[in-house]
Amino acid sequence: MKKIFWNKKYALKIAKKEKIKIKKIHWKIIFFTRNFYLKFHIIPSIRILLTAINKTYKKKLNSVDLINLFPKNPAIKISKIAGIPNPKKCI
């Protein structure tokens, strides 16, 4: 099996397949999630993700906002685009 190295080009390709047009806030969420996973070897919970994004970027995002940004199943789509494993529990 061919190993794929993650980069922004790869992320954009996956996002396009998922019919997500990546904007600045998407990148913030994707990079936070990816960096969190690479540092702690676990996927951040939605609560941790929202708390960190809201605190770091002075945003007021909630779980509905995540669903609007990453439709149907945000946790799985964020993980897929970030090039990390799918979370065990999803909203």
Is 90 marked active-site? yes
Cα separation values, 80 from 44, 60, 89, Å: 14, 24, 14
Q: Among residues 12, 48, 76, 90, which one is catalytic?
A: 90
| Alpha-carbon gap, residue 8 to 72, rounded angstroms | 22
Which amino acid, 38? L
Catalytic residues, by residue number, are 90
